[in-house]
Amino acid sequence: MAVGRAGKTAAGVAGAIALGLGLAQVLLPRIAANRISSRLARYGSVQSVSVEAWPAVELLWGRADSVKAMMTSLKVSPAQTAGLLREGRGANELEVTASMAHEGPLRLAEVRLHKRGDALRAEAWISKADVAAALPEGFDVQLLRSVDGKVEVRASGGLFGVGASVGAVAAASAGRLIARPEGLLLERLQITLFADPHIYVEGVGASETVGPGGQPGYRLTMSARAR
């Protein structure tokens, strides 16, 4: 009899544990998705957030298999973008998309940020009109080509302190994204476009494309690693 009661007790405990794990698998991802949605709402309009984790109890330690967020609008500074990536470091796969976004002075469309493990990739589209609007008055930048993780442009209007038109390259340097002019007398000049101790930039790219509404513009990409 005692053995029978012990067996029933063990079965009851096992059943309760299984029920608890089942409820956790259903509820914890939803709770995590709601928390992430609330955080992202500080920066724009959130359309949807989904979280996957197996087992779901991983979420209690800040880990997840994947987090996907879709936003209709997003407004962040480069520092806030890096901060969002740090918050998502517990997800093996992270994807954030936004129909429209403002990052600093840039107005972007079709934004996608993807992280798998430590590998990061960001891409966005920007119109030629918005590129001109983000530059100081009298400045101009024309895309020449994009190869081997570098973007070559023709810059004019006093960029780098030079009044004439000069060739310039945007590229990764020691984990930072920098722009520097071409030419023997100008090689030491450079501008840091993006730098964060937790993100190691590996390369950038750009190509001319037609975007929303048939506007001419550029598809921009950046590859990096979280550290």
Higher pLDDT, 204 or 15: 204
Q: What is the mean pLDDT of residues 65-85?
A: 86
Domain boundary at 79, 98, 117, which? 117
Question: What is the per-residue pLDDT for 26?
Answer: 47
E runs forming strands in the chain: 44-52, 64-76, 91-103, 106-116, 119-127, 140-147, 150-156, 166-173, 176-181, 191-194, 199-210, 216-226
* 34-54 pLDDT tens trace: 888 888 888 899 999 888 877
Number of neighbouring beta carbons within 10 Å of residue 159:
21
What domain range is 169 assigned to? 118-227
Q: Is 3 inside any structural domain?
A: no
**Is the pLDDT assigned to residue 170 strictly greater than 70?**
yes
Asked, for residue 5, whether it belongs to a domain, the answer is: no
Residue 152 or residue 8, greater confidence? 152
The count of structural domains within the chain is 2
pTM for this predicted structure: 0.79
In a domain, 20, yes or no: no
Give me the pLDDT at residue 19, please.
45
pLDDT of 154 strictly over 50: yes
71 and 165, same domain (yes or no): no
Q: Does 122 lie in the same domain as 218?
A: yes
Q: In this structure, is residue 21 part of a structural domain?
A: no
Angstrom CA distances, 43 to 74, 90, 135, 183, 214, stand at 6, 20, 24, 41, 28
Average pLDDT, the chain: 80
One domain, residues 127 and 108: no
Share of the chain above pLDDT 70, in %: 78
Residue 212 maps to a domain:
yes
Task: Give the residue, 133 or 151, on which the prediction is more confident.
Answer: 151
Is 80 within the bounds of a domain? yes
**146, 211: one domain:** yes
Give residue-wise pLDDT tens across range 196-216. 888 999 999 999 999 888 899
The predicted structure's pLDDT at residue 176: 93
| Predicted confidence (pLDDT) per residue in 108-148, tens digit | 999 999 999 999 999 999 999 998 888 777 778 889 999 99
Calculate what percentage of the chain has a pLDDT beyond 90.
33
What are the tokens at 52? 């996957």
Confidence check: pLDDT of 80 > 80 = yes
C-alpha atoms less than 13 angstroms from C-alpha of 212 in its C-beta half-sphere? 10
| Cα four-point dihedral sign 119, 103, 159, 211 | positive
Q: Has residue 9 been placed in a domain? A: no
